[in-house]
Structure 1
Amino acid sequence: MTKLHTPGFLNFFFSLKLKQKLLLSYILLILVPFVTFYWLFNMEISGIIMSNTNYSAERSFDQTFDFLSNKLNHIIRVADVIYNEQSISEILKKNINDYPVSDQIEDMMFLTKYLKSFEDKEDIEKVRLYVPSGLVYSTENVNLFSFDEIIDTEWYNRMHDYTFTLAYIPSQLLQDENNDPEVLSIARFILNTVNYKEKLGVLRIDFNKKDFEQVIDNANTIEGGLTYLENSLGEIVAASDNELVLRYHIPHDIIASADDNDSGFEWVILNNEKIRFRAKLIHNTDWKMITVIPEKLVTDKIKNTMNQLLLMMLIISLIAYLLAFSIAHFMTKRIQTLKNQMHKVQQGVLEPLMNTGGNDEIGELILDYNYMISKIKLLMEEQYQSGQRLKAAELKVLQAQINPHFLYNTLELINRLSKKNKVCEIDEVIHSLTKFYRTNLSKGEDFITLREELEHVSAYVSIQNMRFRNKIKFEINVPDEFMDILVPKIILQPIVENSIIHGIMEKDEGTGIIRISGSIEGDNMILSVQDNGKGIPENIIEKINYGQILDSKSGYGIKNVVERIKLIYGDAYGLEYISKYNEGTTVRIKLPLNKTGNMPEKTEHFQNKSVVY
């Protein structure tokens, strides 16, 4: 017997052309497992589906049965409560000959209110009380009715078999009443507690039949199954399908024998058709719940499952067959793909290629291409960083342009105060100016804490109040949790300067308030600078927010703030202007919390610290 030498087989396999390798792999790795799996699955599927169907049917039956039992028991308890209400029997025992009309009206109001209190329209549609004719309220015809209306009805005559218990009335006995919606009912006599032979009235509780049909339909776990309720006389009370119940109505004697054991679903031959059924008596009633599952439905389900599996396997096999041929052609196209990618590089698209071809010559070309792309990206990143440094230098020049103008105005103020010999005021101005320029320098750092930024703008406002004779009221209302957050320096002072010069000083009285507040919105910190100055017209506000107006009136300061924030954090961040002309302006500074250094925990409420200058 010839032995199979593995190395020799491998040498033979690797010597084949690629297309031949793929075809051989397809036969061994796709078709053989599929055929084996289908054969084994076909042997096991019947038992699995039958077991799952039986488990689902048993569970759904029990759940639906419990729900129906609870629903009916609730209605029965309501009937018992009404039956045991002593005031009702006391009213019904009154002699009509010694029963003033006023008393009858009063009793009518009590009875209708009491009966209506049980009509929740969820479990109970209507509560009816039939009373002797001749009473004023016997013609109320909402909750109170006359005995004369039911004396000849079949359901009332059937009640005589249930003198001391509840009678369960199917809807077919109530068709003459034209109830909308169609109802099922339970009824019982209200007896004289002194003389039980005397029937004082009839209590009837109606409940929606459609609700019961919807509930029992939930017991059907397979399409085409049937669940219905049947009473002790073999009458159909409710069914999930009124057409199927004519076909699969199981004889009463079979139901009776099965219900005694309630051992689950049983097999029976009905009209030459094998079916499975289960029946169970609902406690405290003469209604039985019955579920029927024809065997044909289960076998059809097995056949459909196998047909779907076969179809799926055929589709997968066909796809695999096509792929076996397509991959061979696809692999020869890798060189063309590499060529197309090189053209994209010329257009500025630098994307590496996924090497799925192994270590062949094409794979080596792809590795060389990816190495070239990584080098180009590195050079571009270095160029970008150089541009960033150049841009930062330009912004520092812009920042430097702010200070000389302010310094000139402040020195002029000191000169004025010195001529008036106001030494204390000069000392205060110099102290504030020192604080102001200490922040400007900040040891060459581009970021400072929000506390330092607020001290900086406070120093600026203090100096301006010297110039404008304390016409500016300045308030800071920023949470303590914000104070140690790092922010770009000198982002508040240019905005406050605009609020003073172009807002408050533009008003006739030349006085006003500036408030700085802070809040969190999502993952962002919002710093708001609000004034009650002149405000900005609406058409100009829209242009400012779209970046269309940055003239000399806005100054270098605002431009500096906007450009620095966008350079550091991106175009999603910056300034937003909100203003009403002649009422004031609010400038919202939006900064990302996850990029500002030491972050506070985000909370919904902050204990704010309010500082007024």
Structure 2
Amino acid sequence: MHKLKQWYQDLNLQSKFTLVLLLIVSIPAIAIIFFFYGKAYDMVVSYTIRQEQDRSAETAPLIEESIQKVLDVSEEISSLDFYQTLFKNALTESFTDLADSPDAASFSRKVDQLIAGTPVTNVKIYMEVPKDSPSDINALFDKEDLKDTFLSLDQVRGTYWYGIFRGSRVSQLFCPSFYLGTKEQKAYGDQAYITHASVIYKNGTYDAYMAVYYSGHDFQQILSGNLTLDGSVSYIMNERNNLVSASSDSLAGIYWLDYDKIMESYMSSNSFIEQDILGKTVYVGFYRIKQTGWFMVTVLPSQPLINQSNILVLQFLSIYIAVLVLAFLLASTLSKSITGRISSVISQMRTVRHGPPVPMDSPSAHDEIGDLIDTYNYMTRKMNQLMEKQAQAAEDLRIAEFNSLQAQINPHFLYNTMDMINWMAQQGRTSEVCNAVQSLSRFYKLTLSRKKGISTIAKEEEHVSIYVHLQNMRYHDSISFISDIPDELMEYQIPKLTLQPVIENSILHGILEKPSKSGTIVLTGWMEDGDIVLLISDDGVGIAPDKLPMILSGEGTSISGGTNIAIYNTHRRLQVLYGADYGLTYSSDVGKGTEVQIRIPAKRDETSGETPKPL
């Protein structure tokens, strides 16, 4: 407890204010969450059941409407004169005469008219054939106008619905698909409303059945539209405990309820009831289809409801977290308005540890803190002025040193080249002098093509190629020059006249010191840790170990007695421009040759020849 108290006391004022305000907001919200979580499931169940009740109240009339259209078609056909003559009274004429009557000629046409625009897909009348006059009744089966409607009862004797009629003596029957024969389902419709009729003929009574076929797919679509919850199912069952239609046959099989249990539940409640099916809690609602004795059953499994309640809680938590973040921002803003001015002064003063001081905005209030800010700003301005003057002086010195070093290199190279041209002129080699002057002109055109001192590796490679060419003109092509720099390095930046002094040193103090006066120079390069490394190697006489450290110091002389001023200036330029980690590195083996590594930072040429300001 003491440590907690000490921790709180050590907090700054803004943190203390923020913490207190967050606790004020959080504690009531956490209490609400615990209360809300226990009620969330009940709320989701009640809401979902109410939704399903509303949908079922709309769905059941749609099914009843479809059934009523089927019943209307059946009743209207039954009221046609030809039907009345055939089934309602004893026949006083033969089937042949009846088939030839005007009513028979229009009967099938009127049937087609009645079923147009209804769910009915076909109408068939199945008639028992009298044993004593089978040929007479065939007139109904063979007559062109009637043969598509009237069929022999023998075609359906094996069906389930015919067995029901024969066994229970019902007068009408709504038939799900499995009641019908295979031919009926394929040719006429997968469900049917069938009514029984009798033909009284020659003192005998014969059975007849009118089957009004329709598609159960319409019921399936209506039932599927009844559902709002994933994993739920709606199905219709008849009084014989058979499935009529379902939004999902597989789910209907899982959540199947007995008809008697449904009837019992329906009589005791008109709302959804909780049931246990296969060890799972579900909510079941029942709606009776008036004309048929069917029940529409809707089953809502509990797991999706639990998932919905969890989602609801997560949504609440998300909203709460958003409110908590908003509360934190408000608390932070409020506390900062109290402590911010003091904290800003302290923070600004701390920046002095890592860099130059930065002035603050002028205070809006001129109290003690305002006076402190004004004093700090005055001190900051004075310090920054002194630091800027010091930095400018150092920068001017570095730029002057860079320009001075570069100026020392250019006359040195020009002197050596003009000496070579003078020598050829003395020899009377006019064409070669012309060639040399053209090459020298091209060399200086490349050198002076940019006002500043930064070029590209590609340009520098061309410079030294021209230089070696000029030297070969003097020394009878005794120098082989091989350039193997990867193409991807060619457009990177490099200070002008970086390669030429090194190549010149390799020729004059390396290869030409050999007895054969001939040799090879290889120029290559690679990328290494974000830097570019260029390697110039020759097979000259090499450099003695005691003289090697003095090459980059600007002291000492070469083997032939010359100075190392060009090499020193090149190395010094790179360090002035890029820093102490860059420049030239020499290694040599006496009698075998010398290698020079030139390390520069990898910077692409994106400034159209303008030199970046030295570091």
TM-score normalised over the length of structure 1:
0.45
Choose 1 or 2 for highest CA Rg: 2
